[in-house]
Amino acid sequence: MIKRYLPYLKQYRVSCILGAISKWLEAILELLVPLVMANIIDEGVARADISYVLWGGALMLAMGAVGFGCALFCQRSASIASQGFGTNVRNALFKHIDTLSYREIDKVGAASLVTRVANDVTQMQSAVAMTIRLVVRSPFIALGSVILCLILDWQIGLIVTAVSVLVALVLWVIMKKSVPYYSANQKKLDRLTQITNENLEGARVVRAFSNREKERARFGEAADDMLQNSIVIGRISAWLNPLTYAIVNFGVAVILLLSGVKVHGGSLSSGDIIAVINYMTQILNAMIVISNLVSLFTKANASMHRVSEVFDMRSCVSDGGGCDPDFSASAIEMKGVSFSYAGTDKYSLRDVSLCIERGETVGIIGGTGSGKSTLISLLPRLYDCSLGQVKIFGRDVREYKLRDLRFLFGVVPQNAALFSGTVRSNLFWGNDKATDEEFDEALKIACAYDFVYEKGGLDEKVAEGGKNFSGGQRQRLTIARAVVAKPEILILDDSCSALDFATDAKVRANIAALRGMTTLIISQRASSIMNADKIFVMEDGRIVGAGRHEELYRDCGLYREICDSQTRAEA
CATH number of the domain to which 429 belongs: 3.40.50.300
Q: Check whether 569 has a pLDDT greater than 60.
A: no
Q: Check whether 92 has a pLDDT greater than 90.
A: yes
The total number of structural domains in the chain stands at 2
How far is CA 20 from each of CA 66, 72, 78, 132, 151, rounded to the nearest angstrom?
A: 15, 12, 9, 6, 26
Length of the chain as a residue count? 571
275, 418: one domain: no
The residue among 312, 339, 366 that closes a domain is 312
Q: Report yes or no on 60 lying in a domain.
A: yes
288, 416: one domain: no
Question: Among 85-99, 276-290, 448-462, which is the least confidently predicted range?
Answer: 276-290
Q: Report yes or no on 547 lying in a domain.
A: no
Q: What is the mean pLDDT of residues 372-398?
A: 90
300, 435: one domain: no
Q: Check whether 253 has a pLDDT greater than 60.
A: yes
Q: What is the pLDDT of residue 84?
A: 92
27: domain CATH number is 1.20.1560.10
SS3 for 347-400, per residue? CCEEEEEEEECCCCEEEEEECCCCCHHHHHHCCCCCCCCCEEEEEECCEEHHHC
The residue among 297, 312, 327 that closes a domain is 312
Q: What is the b/e burial string over 119-144, where b = at least 16 CB atoms within 10 angstroms of the residue's CB?
A: bbbebbbbbbbbbbbbbbbbbbbbbb
26, 175: one domain: yes
Q: What is the pLDDT of residue 333?
A: 94
DSSP letter string, 67-112: HHHHHHHHHHHHHHHHHHHHHHHHHHHHHHHHHS-HHHHHHH-HHH
Q: What is the pLDDT of residue 430?
A: 80
Q: Report yes or no on 200 lying in a domain.
A: yes
Q: Report yes or no on 420 lying in a domain.
A: yes
More confident: 546 or 209: 546
Q: How confident is the model at residue 264 (pLDDT cuts 50, 70, 90)?
A: low
Q: Check whether 246 has a pLDDT greater than 50.
A: yes
Q: Report yes or no on 328 lying in a domain.
A: no
The residue among 291, 312, 333 that closes a domain is 312
- How distant is the alpha carbon of residue 185 from its chain centre? 16
Q: What is the mean pLDDT of residues 78-99?
A: 91
| Domain around 61 | 2-312
Q: Check whether 85 has a pLDDT greater than 90.
A: yes
Tell me the pLDDT of the chain averaged across its residues: 84
3-class SS of residue 187: helix
Dist. CA 264–CA 341, nearest whole Å: 82
- State percent of the chain over pLDDT 90: 18
Q: What is the mean pLDDT of residues 385-413?
A: 90
Q: Check whether 509 has a pLDDT greater than 90.
A: no
Q: Report yes or no on 539 lying in a domain.
A: no
Q: What is the mean pLDDT of residues 226-242?
A: 82
85, 216: one domain: yes
25, 138: one domain: yes
Reference 29, options 58, 65, 76; nearest CA is: 65
Q: Check whether 528 has a pLDDT greater than 50.
A: yes
Give the model confidence (pLDDT) of 464-482 as tens digits.
878 888 888 888 999 999 9
Q: Report yes or no on 283 lying in a domain.
A: yes
Q: Check whether 58 has a pLDDT greater than 80.
A: yes
Q: What is the pLDDT of residue 336?
A: 92
| 54-58, 74-78, 413-417, 563-567 — most confident range | 74-78
Q: What is the pLDDT of residue 301?
A: 82
176, 296: one domain: yes
Give the model confidence (pLDDT) of 3-33 as tens digits.
888 889 888 888 888 988 888 888 888 888 8
Q: Report yes or no on 201 lying in a domain.
A: yes
Q: What is the mean pLDDT of residues 411-422?
A: 85
Q: How confident is the model at residue 331 (pLDDT cuts 50, 70, 90)?
A: very high
Q: How confident is the model at residue 136 (pLDDT cuts 50, 70, 90)?
A: confident
307, 434: one domain: no
